[in-house]
Homo-oligomer: A and B are copies of this chain.
């Protein structure tokens, strides 16, 4: 029972498909589940902008205003675009689906590769930056970032294996809590600033060692790079359009509304945080030494500095901000845990991914996908030593690839709609949507180019390699499945062909209950020929012949001499011979098997049977028949339970 129990405790009782309805999400739950990613990204977006500008020294920090403004504009456009998608694709309009329907397989697969990469990065980046929030509050944990991050991913995995509904509950509190404390922070900051208090971040006094002087093109590029880094604020916006089917009816309307709410929250928080960062003169750099601090100093995140400065000596509020920030960030990873398995399952359905990803697990989620995502993210976290700024570099490309493709897809979609010649009012709506998506496509495309230019040398190349690899991998899987399908396809006229003759070979080592059972069974098959087969290892052959006569067995006994004391080889050879000798017959090899109940008993029994079976399956025209003989330790009362899955009826 143990395996089963453990599973239940961790993953919960299985859900009936008929309960799928119950797991549909009201807006108030959908927001935290699908938006924890875009909302939480404001926790680090500002910092990433400042980090880049810091290269140009303190004087360039003011450029953050422009970067932020551009990002806000972009965010509004993208949200507007995806709202169109929610209406156009109530069945879920992920970049993959939209591109597939409007731009063809290649575009779709490109989008898919981008999304898969991004889901993994969402988990990695969010969790790592959540841990950064924690270590900003508890510097002593600074050296355990990798361990903490991996731990959080593991926890998330288990939560998600429990199914989306419970997740919703669990995730609502931190997300709303985060939004709340940030607004409280704005309020207090506003009051204090309005009353003429000058507030400075702890790092305001620190000089920034200027990496270089940026003028002309260099300056533009730096600004563009800052902008590109800030675009992390947009990550995860598409999650909602992906998850429309998970919403309560009216699905599209609710989804669009949730998307709008998310947009408003993101924009306000992002603007607020950026403003305070600049007003408080927060100085952040990738390397503490550039701030004149000793190497390896545990520096605080920009948000942590803002919070500390705002709340002064009211520590409890500061810790509250850090706690909720950490919470929402770790949960942001959950967006991916919802999106990745769903996408993987769609890909599996379309034969671009292994079939296992299509199947649902016991709970109403796609277990395999969840586990796969978790493993990939953990690998990434360990590989990049849980360093946020290095991971961020990989992050944004995929996002904008999928943005651009899905927006372009939408444009094509509306074009098609128009071509059907709808009525005037509908036409106007379509024209409006078309315009919105066109702007979205153009803008995200432009940003993609900027990101590519500015980030390539900073690690983005990794993604630019990973995506084509995934792309080709998926194509390969599809090709394989198609080949197989072709190979096994049958015309409706085809009927099962009964083999002309059936030769049965029973493997025997000595005469005992399992052997007799196997022989009895073999006789019940009423074969054309029945032969008992053995390999003469040492003197066993003679003993066997005697037993044979003792038991007066009327089955002919064929003894194979094995010059190499190798059992499997000669057997295979003989079976192949028999099969070749009578091509339109079927040859069955009956293997009497000892079945033991305890794992440690297994190695005590000759492994020949196992190796033999594996090999026989590759012999054309041969079937393998296992006739198990259950030893006491394997008798049902004991094992049925242990080996029964999580269904009450079994």
Contact = CB atoms under 8 A, between A and B. Distances in A.
A130 B188 CA distance: 76
Interface string A11-41: 0001111100000000000000000000000
Nearest to A597: B618
Interface string A411-441: 0000000000000000000000000000000
B620 A356 contact: no
A595 B570 contact: no
Given A563-B17, A620-B635, A516 B498 contact: no
15 contacts: A16-B563, A359-B537, A480-B601, A483-B631, A496-B523, A496-B555, A498-B521, A521-B586, A569-B644, A570-B649, A588-B625, A617-B626, A618-B636, A619-B636, A624-B628
Interface string A564-581: 111111101100100000
B537 A494 contact: no
Nearest to A639: B618
A499 interface: yes
Interface in A263-285: none
A615 interface: yes
A523 B511 contact: no
A214 interface: no
Contact of A360 (B359, B477, B565, B644): B565
Contact of A628 (B551, B617, B631): B617
Interface string A347-381: 00000001110011110000000000000000000
B646 A618 contact: no
Contact of A647 (B14, B481, B570): B570
Contacts of A617: 593, 595, 626, 628
Top 6 nearest A-B pairs (CB, nearest first) are A569-B645, A496-B520, A488-B512, A496-B519, A573-B650, A569-B647
A502 interface: yes
A644 B495 contact: no
B496 A516 contact: yes
Contacts of A484: 594, 631
Interface centre among A516, A525, A576 (most CB of B within 10 A): A525
Interface residues of A, number: 100
Contacts of A626: 613, 617, 623-626
A604 B488 contact: no
A495 B516 contact: yes
Contacts of A645: 564, 566, 568-569, 572
A523 B551 contact: no
B523 A573 contact: no
Contacts of A647: 563-564, 566, 569-570, 573
Contact of A620 (B487, B550, B572, B630): B630
Contact of A623 (B496, B628, B639): B628
B551 A495 contact: yes
A484 B623 CA distance: 28
A548 to B, nearest CB: 11
A489 interface: yes
A72 interface: no
Interface in A479-507: 480-481, 483-485, 487-490, 492, 494-499, 502
A514 interface: yes
Contacts of A492: 550-551
Interface in A588-644: 588, 593-595, 601, 603-607, 613, 615, 617-620, 622-632, 634-636, 639-640, 643-644
Contacts of A477: 604
A479 to B, nearest CB: 11
A194 interface: no
Given A605-B355, A650-B570, A513 B487 contact: yes
A520 B502 contact: no
A553 interface: yes
A186 to B, nearest CB: 47
A144 interface: no
Given A569-B646, A624-B628, 4 more contacts: A490-B513, A497-B517, A498-B521, A618-B636
Contacts of A563: 14, 16-18, 647
A526 interface: yes
A524 interface: yes
Contacts of A514: 488
A395 to B, nearest CB: 29
Contacts of A568: 645
A526 B498 CA distance: 10
A516 B635 CA distance: 34
Given A572-B650, A643-B618, A523 B498 contact: yes
A640 B623 contact: no
Given A628-B618, A643-B615, A647-B569, A604 B354 contact: yes
Contact of A603 (B356, B572, B643): B356
A12 to B, nearest CB: 12
A487 B643 CA distance: 23
A485 to B, nearest CB: 8
